[in-house]
């Protein structure tokens, strides 16, 4: 039976909802908006899509709340797609990849290592959905009449967002809520322009330095004397402990002691992680929680229009580690820290016969690209945390957003 509302009740409800509606329409500040002193010059969007031709699409799945019921939820997950040359072509790009620590997965990397080329998109999702997303990419490619070989060894990377662990999580990862068609929708929605950050796509259920993490992006444009090339980075951030979080050299994680991961509600569940996660009231006030192991992962995708060959792009991918390290990551034993870099220069290298001319940036001229990669990685990680909103998921597990005021206070305290 439908409930009836009077005009007065409806107006009152609207007034109650209006502040939250207005707040949701106000974009959260990015690192640059706060004056964080990162080096380098950004592109116009400060995003991976500043590299001409790159498109990003995302599919976000959020539903349910309360107690975890495998197969039903709560669901906090998604898929992110990065297409080096957009979705209208299967023309490959030169690429290289690197694992700082390999407790994770990025499919297709053996062929990238062998051929030096990336065919199709780079997809990012949760750990148990890699197979579904891979199937979805191949189905999508066949539907768009692309050669099945080009996408047969497609690249899908992951980080863990699951509640079935010894330390909690937001998503019903064992419920396999991501389907092949979700990958297809992310690809269909891919476009250039601004990139959504935070609780979106593959980053929906992720945790970063014990705050809410997710998707983040940034870019750098090199000076004309260094070629004027653009370097763009996109991260899916799901790693690190609070006490190690550093921003532009400031030990921010040691300055922000409250708002630790916690559990809300009174759920009668048997999972061992429940006892190890503090109740939210204690976490908010800064009461020290039990120590957690440094777990989690980060996937980083680097795009550039600099004419780099595969061995040079592998070198670029290794430099991502320095950006992660600046923020406080060190590639812990159970972390999947896997990075891929590609160049949109040298089109047409997928030809099946003949001699293919290519251009290459001198090795002696590559240092600015390395530096831009480190800078953009560092900024993209912080952007992922600044964009993310506080989220509560399975069994009341809650991750708090990085508080902007506390970040500003910490930077000011250290003169940054």
Q: Which of 129, 246, 335, 343 is catalytic?
A: 335
Return the structure tokens found at 64: 């349910």
Residue 343 known to be catalytic: no
Beta strands in 147-295 (DSSP E): 155-159, 207-208, 211-212, 214-221, 230-238, 262-263
Instruction: Report the distance separating Cα 35 and Cα 377, nearest Å.
Output: 17
Indicate the angle between helix axes 310-327 and 367-387, nearest 10 degrees. Answer: 50
Active-site hit among 172, 337, 384, 395? 337
276 carries an active-site annotation: no
- SS3 (DSSP) at 68: coil
Is 321 part of the annotated catalytic residue set?
Answer: no
Strand, coil or helix: 123: strand
Q: Are 274 and 166 in contact (CB under 8 A)?
A: no
What tokens were used for 412?
Answer: 């000011």
What whole-number distance in Å separates Cα of residue 217 and Cα of residue 203? 12
DSSP assignment of 9-76 equals HHHHHHHHHHHHHHHHHSPPPPTGGGT----S---SSSSGGGSTT-EEEEEEEEE--SS-BTTTB-EE
Rounded to 5 degrees, φ, ψ at 186 are -60, -40
- Single out the catalytic residue among 297, 321, 343, 384: 297
Nearest to 100 by CA among 199, 240, 251, 292: 240
* Residues that are catalytic: 297, 335, 337
């Amino acid at each position: 039976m439908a409930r009836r509302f009077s005009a007065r009740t409806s107006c009152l409800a609207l007034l109650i909802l209006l502040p939250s509606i207005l707040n949701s329409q106000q974009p959260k500040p990015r690192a640059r908006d706060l004056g964080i002193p990162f080096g380098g010059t950004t592109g116009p969007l400060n995003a991976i899509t500043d590299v001409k031709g790159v498109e990003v699409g995302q599919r976000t799945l959020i539903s349910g709340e309360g107690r975890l019921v495998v197969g039903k939820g709560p669901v906090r997950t998604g898929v992110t797609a990065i297409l080096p040359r957009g979705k209208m072509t299967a023309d490959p790009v030169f690429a290289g990849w690197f694992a700082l620590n390999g407790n994770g997965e990025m499919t297709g990397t053996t062929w990238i290592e062998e051929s030096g080329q990336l065919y199709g998109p780079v997809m990012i999702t949760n750990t148990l959905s890699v197979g579904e997303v891979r199937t979805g990419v191949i189905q999508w490619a066949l539907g768009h009449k692309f050669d099945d070989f080009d996408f047969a060894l497609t690249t899908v990377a992951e980080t863990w967002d699951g509640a079935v662990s010894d330390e909690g999580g937001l998503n019903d990862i064992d419920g396999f809520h991501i389907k092949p068609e979700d990958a297809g929708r992310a690809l269909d929605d891919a476009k250039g322009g601004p990139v959504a950050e935070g609780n979106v796509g593959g980053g929906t259920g992720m945790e970063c330095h014990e705050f809410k993490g997710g998707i983040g992006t940034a870019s750098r444009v090199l000076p004309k004397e260094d070629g004027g090339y653009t370097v763009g980075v996109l991260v899916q951030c799901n790693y690190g402990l609070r006490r190690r979080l550093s921003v532009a050299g400031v030990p921010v994680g040691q300055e922000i002691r409250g708002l630790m991961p916690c559990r809300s509600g009174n759920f009668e569940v048997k999972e061992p992680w429940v006892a190890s996660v503090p109740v939210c009231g204690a976490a908010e006030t800064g009461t020290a929680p039990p120590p957690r192991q440094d777990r989690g992962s980060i996937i980083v995708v680097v795009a550039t229009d600099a004419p780099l060959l595969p061995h040079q792009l592998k070198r670029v991918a290794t430099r991502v580690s320095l950006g992660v390290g600046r923020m406080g990551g060190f590639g812990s034993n159970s972390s999947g820290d896997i990075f891929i870099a590609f160049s949109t220069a040298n089109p047409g290298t997928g030809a099946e016969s003949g001699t293919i001319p290519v251009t290459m940036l001198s090795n002696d001229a590559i240092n600015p690209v390395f530096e831009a990669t480190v800078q953009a990685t560092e900024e993209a990680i912080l952007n992922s945390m600044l964009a993310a909103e506080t989220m509560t998921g399975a069994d009341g597990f809650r991750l708090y957003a990085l508080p902007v005021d506390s970040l500003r206070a910490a930077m000011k305290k250290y003169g940054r």
